Amino acid sequence: MNFNSLQYYLFLPVTILLYYSIPVKFRTPLLLLLSYFFYMCWQPKYALLILTSTVITYACGLLLSSRPENKKVWLALSLTLNLAILFFFKYFNFAASLIEDIVGALNLTVIAPSLDVLLPVGISFYTFQALGYTIDVYRGKIAPERNFACYALFVSFFPQLVAGPIERSTNLLHQFKEVHSFSFDNIRDGALPLLWGLFKKIVIADQLAVIVNTVYAAPDTFLPSQLVIATVAFAFQIYCDFSAYSDIARGSAAMLGFRLMRNFNAPYFATSIRDFWRRWHISLTTWFRDYLYYSLGGNRCSKTRNYLNILIIFAVSGLWHGAALSFLFWGLLNGLYQVFSLITKPLRIAVQNALGLRDSNLALTFFRYVLTFALICVTWVFFRADSLSDAVYILGVVFGLIPPGTEQAFRLITMGLDMANCKMLFIAVAVLLVVDYLGIRCEQNDTRLELIINRTLIPRYLIYFILITATLIFGSYGAGYNPQDFIYFQF
């Protein structure tokens, strides 16, 4: 049941109606049952995996409290069992293939086993959310949850189950014990992010996917300029696709009275790679920071060790996204950017001071926007390419190191969309950037654009009308349309 499907927009109002209609004591069991139903619409049998992860982390949380003398044992047990399940379904074939290639390079022969299993949707998300709970209990940040239904709902809450945000127990768990009375304010607060998310997904991301899929399916048949356009298109596709899921999740939860964390904050207005990762997939970035980076010593160590810690974090982040060398390179390249930035920081400050440029200088800020975006686009090639060799080829062609595989004349229509759709996409992306920029300016004044809009009446309903109309007129759906799954479902 996708967020961009008709079934979901029958499921959501029924859920809201039932939730507010029944007695408070039955609401948690109701949401738990509906959350499992939501997940089982994809893969019924894999609901057992969520239940298994839930039982393991719930039991270990209780053991951490009742038998504190063995705290490290219970933490290790929770981590080991959950990561073993994740490894089996997501990384076993990758590891076996990698071992086979390494052994083959040594002129030895080994036939690695291969498992014919389907990757469970959202397994990386709910596994990390459950592990975060265990670590929080171990560190004493929260008391172990004794109500199993309440904890099970925390792991499987349907709005953010499949693709996040990866919620913290300190933020979400207590909300299931609060009484949420029906309020028009809740519906209002949820409507804007939900409609904005649908616009980004159906109007922008799914249309850009046509260009991206066409070019990246056969990169050797396109010119360097077309590869650049497709890569920039993917940068906006993945942003609109993933942030749309997070927005619809926040909107759906808000209608039920729950507040999920914000997962994106205008990432393409970042002024550095470090700033980008403060704005992109915030729930995962902070998860790695709080539960892995700090555990490795963070920056409370030598510079060399700190640089190594950064590379480890981004390498793990790359593998979290996918079991392929291209994802590993994507993560390491982001890590190398961070390390290079730290090493060159004194030199950059000296040059800036010598030129008399302040951080508030508009030209300098714009330059930082463009440079950061360009560097991120280079990393997106590894993320999107079908293989590491394809990524190397694309970058080689773009930077003139490899001759293009074709000499055909540049034609935008050969990339999958006609000119009318390309013009519409250009306008839609411009609107996206304007909204993100206004959001940044509002935050500089200690407020949020969503709150400003929700306090109005006529402008709010006008925005609703525009988003609904644009989605209906320009969205990708209808007869012959192959609906695009959200990109992060594969992780």
With 0-12 CB in 10 A as exposed, 13-18 as middle and 19+ as buried, what is 90?
A: buried
Catalytic residue among 174, 180, 281, 321: 321
Retrieve residue 418's tokens.
């006609």
Retrieve residue 415's tokens.
């990339």
Task: Find where tokens 């990698």 sit.
Answer: 98
Contacts of residue 445, Cβ cutoff 8 Å, sequence gap at least 6: none
Contact indicator for 72, 198 with CB cutoff of 8 Å: no
Q: In angstroms, rounded to a whole number, what is the distance separating the alpha carbons of residues 340 and 372?
A: 13
Residue type, 159: P
The answer for 329, left when phi > 0, alpha when psi is -120 to 50, beta otherwise, is: alpha
Buried-exposed string 333-360: b where 16+ CB fall within 10 A, e elsewhere: bbbbbbbebeeeeeeeeeeeeeeeeeee
Residue 447 main-chain phi, psi, to 5 deg: -145, 180
Helix axes 419-444, 458-474, angle to 10 degrees: 150
Buried-exposed string 428-450: b where 16+ CB fall within 10 A, e elsewhere: bbebbeeebeebeebeeeeeebb
Whether 174 sits among the annotated catalytic residues: the reply is: no
Contact indicator for 289, 296 with CB cutoff of 8 Å: no
Kindly list the distances between the CA atom of residue 447 and the CA atoms of 244, 439, 440, 443, 451, in Å, as whole numbers in the listed order: 22, 9, 9, 5, 7
Query: Which residues are designated catalytic?
Result: 321
